[in-house]
């Protein structure tokens, strides 16, 4: 399994949802990745357990409903955003609902 998004993985993910969205909901990037038109950002909120739970509540259904782009950073919520994103991804992968190469994680160093 790829440890990052791949053309095959994002293509498989897009194909799974193509009947649910308008034809250009997924767009192909210059790198050949199929990217959903909607992304989930993890910038705002307090650095606390309540905000972490809210992000997990948003991430899980988004990733299981056709969104395959998550924007996060080590600077967002004192590193908590990246950690929550990683935990949700790990749970979904273990449950067999998602593969790591299906998802594009946009992260940046501070």
> pLDDT, tens digit, for every residue of 11-52?
999 999 999 999 999 999 999 999 999 999 988 888 899 999
> pLDDT, tens digit, for every residue of 58-100?
999 999 999 999 998 888 888 888 899 999 999 999 999 999 9
Question: From start to end of 1-110, where are the E strands?
Answer: 26-28, 34-36, 40-41, 69-71, 104-106
102 occurs within a structural domain: yes
- Residue with the bigger pLDDT between 78 and 103: it is 103
Please give the pLDDT value at position 85.
Answer: 93
Furthest C-alpha separation in the chain = 39
79 occurs within a structural domain: yes
86 occurs within a structural domain: yes
58 occurs within a structural domain: yes
31 occurs within a structural domain: yes
Please give the pLDDT value at position 3.
Answer: 80
Domain that holds residue 45: 7-106
63 occurs within a structural domain: yes
75 occurs within a structural domain: yes
Angle CA 59–63–101, to nearest 5: 120
Q: How many domains does the chain have?
A: 1
1 occurs within a structural domain: no
């Amino acid at each position: 399994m790829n440890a990052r998004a791949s053309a095959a993985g994002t293509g498989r993910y897009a194909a799974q949802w193509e009947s649910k969205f308008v034809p250009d909901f997924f767009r192909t990037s210059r790198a050949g990745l199929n990217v959903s038109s909607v992304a989930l950002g993890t910038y705002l909120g307090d650095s606390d357990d309540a905000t972490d739970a809210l992000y997990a509540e948003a991430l899980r259904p988004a990733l299981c409903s056709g969104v395959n782009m998550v924007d996060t950073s080590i600077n967002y919520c004192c590193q908590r955003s990246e950690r929550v994103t990683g935990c949700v991804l790990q749970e979904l992968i273990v449950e067999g609902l998602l593969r790591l190469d299906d998802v594009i994680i946009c992260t940046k160093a501070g």
